[in-house]
Structure 1
Amino acid sequence: MNTQATTTKPNPVRTFLWLLRREYWEHRGGFFWAPLIAGGVIVGITLLSLIVAETTAARNGVKLSNMNLDMISRNMTPEQIAHFNAGLTTGLMGLSIPIMAILSFVVFFYLLGALYDDRRDRSVLFWKSLPISDLDTVLSKIVAAVLVAPLLAIAATIALHLAFLVLISAYAGLHGVNPLPLLWNPAPLVSMWIKLVLLIPVNALWALPTVGWLLLCSAFARSKPFLWAVALPVAFGAILGFTQLLQRLSIPSSWYWRNIVARILFGVVPGGWFGTGGDGTLRSLASGGDIDISLGKFDLVNAVLTWDRILDALASPDLWIGAAAGAGLIAAAIHFRRRRIETSV
């Protein structure tokens, strides 16, 4: 009996998932541990603050148990409860800022080294010997940066929120105060967490110019990709300012820094699109304008994370022009990934 050897083509979905797994295991410290450690540090600072508050209160004869918070919560109007929930979610989001800042740094430097590091250590020769296309390799790094890393950061954020609420609840419980009526209203918490997850695609679209630029520098540079990524646009902006070329074209000098430099260097910061579209709430806040902070007029979390604001951002030409430019930069990065395997020290 004659047997004919058959070759099976690798499953592209399984291959891509394997590439994502590779990116996670190689960068687990930044993707997983960095936001988790940041959350742990915040919880530790909170615990230390409670200890200091307890000792200070005991020294001055202040007793939390004398405050009948249960009676206060029962007598609160629905509007007052909504105000309290808005303040609580705003405070919890404020606690999350360090995690989001760490996420931005991790993703920035991850993309900057994504296509450079394996050329520097020559492991690119091994990866190119496998039946994996450069397109799949680059796309896996993009997905890891704009989807996997933010998901892990949001998971760390949720863990931080829960740990903080447990810590405050335990402190209140030690003083005979029931924290459940005020602290553990699930509706605003779950709504905030769901919105954070659903905002990941919007943040990803906004980040495409930065993603493409950093990958292009990582694939193109023979050495010091950071200088290529940062010094080149800054130096070009300085030349434009010195020659006053933009002013001669009746273009404000700030246009280049806002629409080019900021988009290709800071697009990975979560929520960078908040100033796009909408009713100008954030711009008024940043400029110190008068804002009505009554419920429904201005609630920091709900004012930013509204569906109308998200739809305004998705309808903004700034987002889609940047996304198209980012796609072009990614295509250029894939081109250099195919052709360049050498680096110089």
Structure 2
Amino acid sequence: MNAAAESVDTPVPSRTFAPTHPTHRFRLLLRREYWEHRGGIFWAPMIAGGVSLLLSLGLLVAGIVFAHKAVAEGNLVQHNGVTINGLDLGTLAQQLTSDDLYQLSEGITITLALSATWPFLVMIFVAFFYCLGALYDDRRDRSVLFWKSLPVSDTATVLSKVATVTLVIPLFATLFAIVIMFAFLIALSIAAAAHGANPFPLLWGNGSVFMLSGQFLAAIPVYAAWMFPTVGWLLLCSAWAKSKPFLWALLIPLALGVATSMTGLLQLIGLERHWLWGNVISRMLLGTVPVTGRDLAYAQSGSVQASEMFSIPGMYSNFLEPSMWVGLIAGAVMIAIAIRLRRWREEG
């Protein structure tokens, strides 16, 4: 009896749990963002890429059909003084000079890059509207009170949203773009092999698909830094606006640009009348477009070569531009203000 009483009265030692490491919390926050926005992060670029691939394959099939029709009508190809059957790609490949092969390599690179643009186009809109709703939606449905009850700081929460829009969303779009490029090049290889050509030296030998894949992945940090002002501005509007953050995000910069252009106030300090549009407003609203100011200047120079346009040194030379660093600082300041606003604004 005494032994039984002692066993009942003996207190059970409480279990202690080690505190969650901050990196684990941040990973869970990123996972939360993915699962809440999986439609835009995963499904939207995948569907866009699938539609793009189907259209590209349709154009390829249409081109083959028209080529067969042209040959049936007696049309032949002459190259270097040799008459070639329009569908005998093997004979045509043997007649190509080194300059022809270079032009073919450039054409393949541009074709593959164009075939992969649809996931990036979807990424532009997904990233833009994700930022607008990132902090506003929690206040609108009052779920911000629940998230604030968890042992997660406002800084970590906002930074997880910044990491999602600058790294996670572009990463998924890039991976789907790479898959599309490989699938389209495989389809081209099958078509070339079916018409007498060896696709490996002709289509794969220049390594353009591998080069573009590596360059697309390497470009993610560059465009993450480039979109920082837009991310900061949209998150600031998302944290501040009581309603319709989309209108506030557009109207404030547009009104500022129209006012300065009409009044010419910038000319009083030695700036061009429309300077604000290209240097401030475009950075506030168009940063999710994966094209930097240096890219545009290079494309407009008239000496565009695909291998140079997508080169890694060319992309990272954007960090030599003062505008890149000014944008990074401005974006960081606006993100800090958004964190402060989220800490104190809880109204729906």
Note if contact 2:295-2:309 (Cα within 8 Å) is conserved in structure 1: no
Partner of 1:324: 329
Q: Aligned partners of 1:53, 1:218: CA distance in 2, in Å?
A: 48
Residue 31 (structure 2) pairs with residue 21 (structure 1): yes
Unaligned runs of 5+ in 2: 1-9, 77-84
The answer to whether residue 257 in structure 2 is matched with residue 240 in structure 1 is no
Residue of structure 2 aligned with 1:259, choices 271, 274, 279: 279
Q: Give, as a single letter, the amino acid of the residue that structure 2 aligns with 1:136.
A: A
AA in 1 matched with 2:165: A
User: Does 2:53 match 1:53?
Assistant: no
> Does 2:220 match 1:210?
no
Q: Which has the higher mean CA deviation after the structures are superposed, 41-50 or 255-264?
A: 41-50
Paired amino acid for 1:201: P
Which of 179, 183, 186 is 2:203 aligned to? 183
Residue 197 of structure 1 deviates from its aligned partner by: 0.8
Q: 2:300 aligns with which of 274, 283, 294?
A: 283
Maintained 8 Å contact 1:73/1:181: no
> d(CA) in 2 for partners of 1:318 and 1:342?
36
Instruction: State the partner residue of 1:193.
Output: 213
1:159, distance to aligned residue in structure 2 (A)? 0.9
| Matching residue's letter, 2:32 | R
Code of the residue aligned with 2:123 in structure 1: it is: L
**Which amino acid letter does the alignment assign opposite residue 304 of structure 1?**
M
SS at match of 1:341: coil
> How far did residue 248 of structure 1 move?
2.3
Partner of 1:313: 318
1:144 to 142, 164, 171: 164
SS in 2 for 1:284: coil
The answer as to 2:145 corresponding to 1:125 is yes
- Please list every run of 5 or more consecutive structure 1 residues that lacks an aligned counterpart in the other structure: 286-290, 292-297
Is 17-26 or 61-70 further displaced after alignment? 61-70
Matches of 2:207 and 2:65, distance apart in 1? 34
Q: Who wins on radius of gyration, i.e. which is larger?
A: 2
Which residue type is aligned with residue 26 of structure 1? E
Structure 2: distance between partners of 1:179 and 1:191: 17
Give the AA of the match of 2:263. Answer: T
What's the RMSD between the two structures over aligned residues? Answer: 2.3
Which moved further from structure 2: 227-236 or 240-249?
A: 240-249
Cα deviation per residue 1:202-246 (whole Å; 9 max; x = unaligned)? 111111100100000000111000011011110111122232211
Q: Measure how far apart 1:71 and its partner are.
A: 4.0
Distance 1:186 1:26, change over 3 A: farther
Residue-by-residue CA offset, 1:298-344 (whole Å, 9 max, x unaligned): 41x3222234433431121110011001000000000011111113x
- Structure 1 stretch displaced more, 51-60 or 15-24: 51-60
Give 2:124's aligned residue.
104
Q: Deviations over 1:6-50 (max 9, x none)?
A: 452111111111111111111111111111111111221123223
Q: Which amino acid aligns with 2:264?
A: Q
Native 8 Å contact 1:274 1:304 kept in 2: no
| Distance in structure 2 (CA, Å) of the matches to 1:270 and 1:255 | 22
Provide Cα deviations, 1:46-94, integer angstroms capped at 9, x if missing partner.
2322343344444441699764333443454445433322221111112
Question: 1:239 corresponds to which letter in structure 2?
Answer: A
Counterpart secondary structure, 1:274: helix
Count of aligned positions:
328
| Cα distance between partner residues in 1 of 2:313 and 2:188 | 34
Contact 2:223 2:290 in 1 (8 A): yes
Contact (CA 8 Å) 1:107, 1:149: kept in 2 or not?
A: yes
CA distance in 1 between partners of 2:147 and 2:227 (Å): 27
Q: CA deviation at 1:170?
A: 2.5
Task: Report the counterpart of residue 172 of structure 1 in structure 2.
Answer: 192
Corresponding residue to 1:114 among 134, 140, 147: 134
Q: TM-score, normalised by structure 2?
A: 0.87
Q: Distance in 2 between matches of 1:249 and 1:87?
A: 47
Comparing 243-252 and 306-315, the one that deviates more: 306-315
> What letter matches 2:180 in structure 1?
L
Task: Answer yes or no: is 1:159 the counterpart of 2:179.
Answer: yes
Matches within 5 A, 1:82-101: 82-101=102-121
The percent of aligned pairs where both chains have the same amino acid is 42
Change beyond 3 A, Cα 1:4–1:47: closer
With 220-229 and 233-242 compared, the bigger mean Cα shift is at 233-242
- 1:288 alignment counterpart: none
> In structure 1, what is the equivalent of residue 6 of structure 2?
none
Q: Which segment drifts farther, 89-98 or 136-145?
A: 89-98
Aligned to 1:34: 44
Deviation at 1:177, TM superposition (A): 3.7
The answer to whether the 8 Å contact 1:209/1:326 transfers is yes
- Which one is further off, 90-99 or 318-327? 90-99
Asked if the contact 2:134–2:161 (Cα under 8 Å) also holds between the matched residues in 1, the reply is yes
Residues 1:172 and 1:18: Cα distance change in structure 2 (over 3 Å): same
Distance 2:301 2:21 in 1: 51
